Structure 1
Amino acid sequence: MRKKIFPFSVSLLAILCSIAYADMRPQLKNRVGIPPFQILKEIIDTNYTIRHTSDHPRKQNAPHLTWLADPDPRIRSSLISSSTDIYEVRNLANQLNSSLATIDYGIHHLHTPLLLITGNNDNAAIRLFSEGYESIEQTIRLELDHLHLPLAREVGLTVKEETEQDREMRLIEANVDYQVTLASHRYSQRIKAGRLVVVGGVIDLNNHYGSGKNRMRIINVNGEKDTAKLRTLQLFRQLKPERLHSLGREKMPSPRN
């Protein structure tokens, strides 16, 4: 009799554990008070208004840049540019290989002179990868699987006196560096010809670097990661001296009391 009960007990325990794990995962709350019919009304009304304005673009302009970013809704184009001429590409953890065709179109057919790849802190995809994502949908698992190359080693590292926020930022920076490396190799001929610059940055939602919330730090240009060398590049010769703090991944010194 015991032999029949034991497998059932193990199965029941496994089910209960999986349920408990699912309950522990953070769940985003639905936005209250905005039903679909109201959202659709806003979309149609907004589009109707734009269609009748004189400043609506009638010709297709070449975008200034191709921007690869995470789909986090807090990451808006207004954080990096006041221009609307941005060719945006979004996927989980801003991965080049997940959107190759779309990015190739921006580089080879729209001829954008700049490919900007940005990560951001408080990133759900990076957090899922580092904490374990076996229980989520297969489609998402397949996307996150690509992060093993840039992040598997970083996840396993133990850094002395590293906070959870520091660890998260280390993973985000490592991923941006990896994506810039991939892009620099893929588009090397255009880079050598002076027709493309690949830039990696981090949008700091939580003021990790100490420069202010939502500020972007440029940490990699065509594979160059050294802060001192970044600040001497001709690309940034028109920056005001105080804006050079936007280059590099070092934290700003804390103000003295």
Structure 2
Amino acid sequence: MEQNSKELIKEILLTNDRFLKGKSRDFFKEHINSQAPKITLVTCSDSRVQTEIFTEDAINKVFIIRNIGNQIENNLGSVDYGVLHLKTPILFILGHTNCGAIKTFISGYENENHSIRYELDHLHIPLKEITKNKGDIQKAIEENIHWQVGIAVKRYKTLIENKELSVLGGIYDFGNYYNKGFGRIVIININGEKERESIKENLTKQDIPAELLEKITI
């Protein structure tokens, strides 16, 4: 274990050294005193979910909020900061397949420690029917995304109506559950709209190619 820890620390520091050697002073000057992200991202703490899946460089572009189960109310101040203070035009709520938080909630989490129970407690409302019937995990993941988007749509209603904010709900499908390809992000909700055709119509307005639309909607 000690050797493993030493190797990880070494990797962190050597990787950072390579990173800074590959960047000019001008790169850092652009964001030393302020940030200007375009996306507020609420996603799961899961280590399999990283920004590389949708952007090659997240620095000064993605304001990231993480917690188990990608829940808005667990970090409401941070979400408000991204949307209201930094004024990002996109709020992206991103869940993922095989989510451990959702699995733990449905299977029962009474034996977890207090801090974990506290975070999972917020899933009670969106998942109460699924929990009652011990339902499908993927369905629960979808319902949680819809619930989180619903909270955002109510909270930021004026911004959405004024076309200053779009709220996206998506799932990173690294398990190919939807048969759209391993690693595909599928969009299941835009500003509270869940119907596939309405989502496709919205994305068409964003100049998303028709071929891609079929792959990212379910």
TM-score, normalisation: structure 2: 0.89
| Structure 1 pair 198–244 and aligned structure 2 pair: CA distance change class (3 A) | same
CA deviations 1:132-153 (Å, max 9, x no partner) are: 0011111000100110000011
1:173-212 equivalent positions in 2, closer than 5 A: 173-212=142-181
- Give, as a single letter, the amino acid of the residue that structure 2 aligns with 1:99: N
The residue number in structure 2 matching 1:70 is 44
The share of aligned pairs that are identical, in percent, is 32
CA deviations 1:133-180 (Å, max 9, x no partner) are: 011111000100110000011222477xxxxxxx11100000000000
Look at both structures and tell me which one has the larger radius of gyration over its CA atoms.
Answer: 1
Write out the 4+ residue segments of structure 1 that deviate beyond 6 Å after TM superposition: none
| Structure 1 pair 49–180 and aligned structure 2 pair: CA distance change class (3 A) | same
Check whether the contact 2:204–2:210 (CA below 8 A) recurs between aligned residues.
no
Q: Secondary structure at the match of 1:119?
A: strand
The residue number in structure 2 matching 1:94 is 70
CA RMSD of aligned residues (A): 1.9
Check whether the contact 1:226–1:248 (CA below 8 A) recurs between aligned residues.
no
The residue number in structure 1 matching 2:208 is 239
Q: How many angstroms does 1:229 deviate by?
A: 1.1
Alignment partner of 1:169 out of 134, 138, 141: 138
TM-score, normalisation: structure 1: 0.77
Q: Secondary structure at the match of 2:109?
A: coil
The residue number in structure 1 matching 2:15 is 46
Q: For residues 76 and 99 of structure 2, what CA distance do their matches in structure 1 show? A: 22
Q: For residues 236 and 57 of structure 1, what CA distance do their matches in structure 2 show? A: 35
- Give, as a single letter, the amino acid of the residue that structure 1 aligns with 2:132: G
Q: How many angstroms does 1:181 deviate by?
A: 0.2
Q: For residues 34 and 181 of structure 1, what CA distance do their matches in structure 2 show? A: 47
Check whether the contact 2:184–2:216 (CA below 8 A) recurs between aligned residues.
no
Where structure 2 has 5 or more consecutive residues not aligned to the other structure, the ranges are: none
Where structure 1 has 5 or more consecutive residues not aligned to the other structure, the ranges are: 1-31, 160-166, 250-257
1:93-172 equivalent positions in 2, closer than 5 A: 93-157=69-133, 167-172=136-141
The residue number in structure 1 matching 2:28 is 57
Count residues in correspondence: 211
- Give, as a single letter, the amino acid of the residue that structure 1 aligns with 2:106: S
Q: For residues 207 and 73 of structure 1, what CA distance do their matches in structure 2 show? A: 18
